Structure 1
């Protein structure tokens, strides 16, 4: 079976396998390279002009080399940066014009909003935003199947991204849960909140209870129907046998009195069994898709019960508090630590 991702890559390559797109691809790679080189040069320039670099070069006795850079090379870095900014402005203007002509966007003025990071990156103090364009180009090339970023780098970046997002989301969730607990502990309106919570879920509770009754009670009644009816019949039989007045009356009838007594007991047993079968039958009907109307009625009545009862209120409060605490415990589990432990165990297993 073909890999869907590879199929998508092949389809995109066929779609973009035109001279114009190849030229565009080469231009993207060129822009990515010069942006990265530009940012590296600016980073080195900032380092060499810092007090730390001054101290470091003095310590290693290369202060003359640093002075040479400041006097002869630094002015060129400034000039090249100025030329590069002019190039970015012109390049952006040309691309904007092409976008207008080819109608890449629904309105001509959408271009600067879509490429906001490129416009802001022209400002000297926001040069770091140029890196966003390089990342976008690299991502586009990755989508086309060109391995620009090593797999190990991507896995590492994805792992630390998930670490940051998990830590942030965990702190938000824990703060919200603690706020809810504090509100329930201190607010006089927490009972109203709980009542509103119950009222909001009454319909869902009724539906769930009806399904539970249908899937458990109905099935069990159907399985035990014969046993229950037989037991009830035995009870009726024994009740007739344990009625001394009837026994004495029947024994007054000569010859057939004893036979009549046994017949009455048998009839009573059958009546008990049939009545029991008739009582149980309405409760074994239905299915998970078509719920028994009796169970639905029972569930609706139970769901509408009044919870203005101290025991019920304590039960609901306990459920709410324990649910919040369970969520809090689950959120506090660091999934990224589990991933690290799993990776460490896999490495140890491969070594041994």
Structure 2
């Protein structure tokens, strides 16, 4: 689809496109002459022209073939002039960040002026088409060539970037496992400045876990406390002495044992309930702060923490490498084969899921007109 009305929006770009088309016509003429001149040098082609097109052969041989270097030089002169004019215009309009950027951006035009690199002149065609595409004069998005080039360019970029990322991660893993100070830097520069946040988070997690699991194990804890008290009482000489008192001794010792068990359990139970029900438990938070500080200060704990951190970083990097190694372009191809379309699809995955859900529930999904 061609939309010439967009050319009127930018007169400078329109003039450049018209100039590009004029140069493109010269490029096509020049390339045609180059190809035909190459074929004309073959004896078979010359014999054919001498036999069937003698007048054309004489004209081409005398005026073009023998003077081809001069004719091509005229084309080169036009192309060089075109480059310098465009360069001056780019400097005047401040198109690029530096005045000398133009020949690097339009390297194919510069190389095309060199006789040995004449084939680069055809790249001007693609440059003009891409410029028209950006100006929305033409739409190349749905063309087969554009999709194919975009697909393989994406594959190329993904493969190269994946290799680079994996190599970088391998280097990081090597530095970590060699005992690089990176682990110590993580502790000092990352963990320690966030120790307050870590303490608050750990306190909250302990409260949440205790509140969730304590009711389930409450009666088991009570039986465990009673068992411990029973064993302690049996080993206590004073309780045994009370039990030997005639008539009331055994009764008193048994009630004393139950009272001790109830007191200990009630104290433990109250501590756990306070830790789980109080929104900001000061004691639990202070205990957590002491644990975190001891972990960061104590040399032995720091060494153990360093070893744990190294293992965690190494495993995390391995997971990242596995994720990076997944070839997304292959997944897209499998998706295309499975669903029968390539992104951007005529129907999105969400629409398909809505249709599947509608088949299960019998309720028709609301169609969004913007999706069409």
For normalisation by structure 1, the TM-score amounts to 0.61
* Structure 1: distance between partners of 2:288 and 2:40: 81
1:163 match:
155
2:146 match:
154
Q: Which runs of 5+ in 2 are unaligned?
A: 342-372
* Structure 2: distance between partners of 1:171 and 1:147: 36
Once structures 1 and 2 are overlaid, which stretch shifts more, 161-170 or 326-335? 326-335
C-alpha deviation, 1:154, in angstroms = 1.1
1:246 paired to 2:239: yes
Seen in structure 2, the aligned counterparts of structure 1 residues 132 and 301 have a Cα distance that, compared at 3 Å, is farther
* Structure 1: distance between partners of 2:44 and 2:149: 31
1:277 paired to 2:270: yes
CA deviation digits over 1:74-123, x for unaligned, max 9? 45765553333222333334334444555556776665565555444333
1:201 paired to 2:201: no
1:5 match:
none
2:32 match:
41
* Structure 1: distance between partners of 2:30 and 2:294: 71
- Verify the 8 A CA contact 1:250 1:257 in the aligned structure 2: yes
C-alpha deviation, 1:141, in angstroms = 1.6
1:4 match:
none
1:89 match:
80
1:7 match:
none
1:125 paired to 2:116: yes
Q: Which runs of 5+ in 1 are unaligned?
A: 1-9, 185-189
* Structure 2: distance between partners of 1:229 and 1:74: 103
1:221 match:
210
* Structure 2: distance between partners of 1:105 and 1:278: 71
What is the root-mean-square deviation in Å for CA atoms of aligned residues?
A: 5.4
Give the counterpart of 2:291 among 286, 295, 298.
Answer: 298
Give the counterpart of 1:135 among 126, 146, 149.
Answer: 126
1:92 counterpart SS class: helix
C-alpha deviation, 1:209, in angstroms = 7.7
* Structure 1: distance between partners of 2:16 and 2:291: 68
Number of residue pairs aligned between Structure 1 and Structure 2: 320
C-alpha deviation, 1:139, in angstroms = 2.1
1:194 counterpart SS class: coil
* Structure 1: distance between partners of 2:288 and 2:44: 83
